[in-house]
A and B are shown apart, each in its own frame.
Chain A
Amino acid sequence: MWPLNYGAENMIDTYSRHRPLALLAIVVVAQVLLLAFQIKGEHDVRLIRYWAVALVTPLERAGTWSFSKVGGAWGGYVGLRNARAENEHMRIELDQLRLRNRELESQAAEVARLGALLSFRNAHPEASMLPAQVIGSSADPTSHTLFINRGEHDRLRMNMGVVTPDGIVGKIVEVLPDTAQVLLINDKDSGVGALFSATRTHGVVRGSGDPEPRMDYVVNDEKVQPGDAIVTSGEDRIFPKDFPIGTVESCKPSNPFQTIRVQPSARLDRLEEVLVLLSQQEVVFKKQEAPAAANAPAKTAPANPSATPQ
């Protein structure tokens, strides 16, 4: 075609015209290179080596820079992806470890509670006790009862006392083959013979339907202050004498007796393990257990080793 032929002819013509000049350049460059090969510059290094290095070094530097940038970007991208995956993996692992930590904390707390129960039980060998686990509570919000995993097969009977090392919990009101229902001391149907640890003034701790029971039958003349320790009197033959019930939370004169609200020593809303007092005979505690003593205020009188339940 004409344009192609024209272009080819034009190219050939241009080449022919400039051929001598191109040859001149080639010959001169060849001789310059020949000179550079012979001439030595500083440090006895041939000039051609200098030139070669000077020519190649920027290219190498550019190549290195490019590879470094590309490699860095790629490394960053891959690292970011890996970091994201690793982050996800570590997050999952952290969740698992948190769960495991909670399990271990729960187990440690359980061990501590069981240890306290065991210590309490070992500290009172004269009282036959059976540890039990709380497995449920009443569905009725007005009823303060709970179920334990011991029943008739474990020699449980009605009206057996249920305690913790901190204080009394309640009594068994229903016994099934493998479970038993416990009436807590803050239930409105509950009543426990009690007395002030300091003054030995008697009364009855009754449930009111509220979380805190109250102590009835304390005359207005009796000096009662918040924080006064209240212990079992043993008169009901359910709980041993001088076992912690709680402390006075508030008191006010009323007709005909004072209205005294009691803060139970046992944490009735967080019970998990309890001890069932198997013997309904008279029990004499050798001495009060440390945790109970620790919970009791300073005004709590030391247990009387010779005291016997009524």
Chain B
Amino acid sequence: MLNLGERSDPNVEVHKFYGGAVLAVCLLALVFQAFLHKYGRWSELIDLPLLVTIYFGVSRRNPVTGLFLGGTIGILQDALSHDNPIGMYGIAKTMVGYLASSIGGRIDTEHPLSRFGLVFCFFHFHQIVLAITQRVLLNHSAPLFTLRLFLDSLVTAAFAVPLFALLDRLRRPS
């Protein structure tokens, strides 16, 4: 039953994954993201490290783990990019990881529609943090919201639903 927006059961299950699965998935996401970069538009359309951050954040449901995981992924993403100062994605993904972990313990994140909505919202939250950081620190006029970003968020959210279902297979059975 979908309980989108409702507080989940306090005794909600914390998902655990096979050993090294989290690390491997994160590295793969970064590698694929770098690989997609070769194809231009795809790298901008789908932010795989963001999806991985959201997924493991809501799955682990531990804010501390989520913020460190998001921060690490973001910094590595910055490091792999050729022009981003290190910390730009790090800040955004740290906050996304923290929020995803916090929300994951309160609402149902297993339903595809719920996952779609979560990713859609986190995509824009990530973009807003990124834009603010760029505006404040880099003095760039990064957009907070555009139609293209809206479409990108829809594509990313749609992509996230099957991806998350795929990643669910890495969970250890409880």
Contact = CB atoms under 8 A, between A and B. Distances in A.
Interface of A: 19-21, 23-24, 27-28, 31-32, 34-36, 38-39, 41, 47
B137 A39 contact: yes
A50 to B, nearest CB: 11
B63 A24 contact: yes
Nearest to B93: A31
23 contacts: A19-B64, A20-B67, A23-B63, A23-B64, A23-B67, A23-B68, A24-B67, A24-B94, A27-B71, A28-B91, A28-B95, A31-B71, A31-B74, A31-B75, A31-B87, A31-B90, A31-B94, A32-B87, A34-B87, A35-B87, A38-B87, A39-B85, A47-B137
Given A27-B71, A35-B88, A38-B87, 18 more contacts: A20-B63, A20-B64, A21-B63, A23-B63, A23-B64, A23-B68, A24-B94, A31-B71, A31-B74, A31-B91, A31-B94, A34-B87, A35-B85, A35-B86, A35-B133, A38-B86, A39-B137, A41-B139
A240 to B, nearest CB: 114
Interface of B: 63-64, 67-68, 71, 74-75, 85-88, 90-91, 94-95, 98, 102, 133, 137-139
Contacts of A31: 71, 74-75, 87, 90-91, 94
A41 B139 CA distance: 9
Contacts of B74: 31
A32 B75 CA distance: 12
A39 B138 contact: yes
A40 to B, nearest CB: 10
B67 A35 contact: no
A24 B88 CA distance: 15
Contacts of A39: 85, 137-138
A31 to B, nearest CB: 4
B93 to A, nearest CB: 10
A126 to B, nearest CB: 114
B63 to A, nearest CB: 4
A11 to B, nearest CB: 20
Contacts, number: 53
Q: Pick the 6 closest A-B CB pairs, nearest first.
A: A20-B63, A31-B87, A35-B87, A38-B85, A34-B87, A31-B90
A24 B98 CA distance: 7
Contacts of B98: 20, 24
Nearest to B90: A31
Contacts of B133: 32, 35
A20 B99 CA distance: 11
A246 to B, nearest CB: 107
Nearest to B85: A38
A36 B75 contact: no
A20 B64 CA distance: 5
Nearest to A23: B64
Contacts of A34: 86-87, 90
Contacts of A28: 91, 94-95
Contacts of B95: 24, 28
B130 to A, nearest CB: 12
Contacts of A47: 137
Given A20-B98, A24-B94, A27-B71, A35 B137 contact: yes
B136 to A, nearest CB: 9
Contacts of A20: 63-64, 67, 98, 102
A27 B71 CA distance: 8
Nearest to A35: B87
Contacts of B102: 20
Contacts of A21: 63
B85 A27 contact: no
A32 B137 contact: yes
Contacts of B64: 19-20, 23
A20 B86 CA distance: 23
Contacts of B71: 27, 31
Given A20-B98, A39-B138, A27 B67 contact: yes
A24 to B, nearest CB: 5
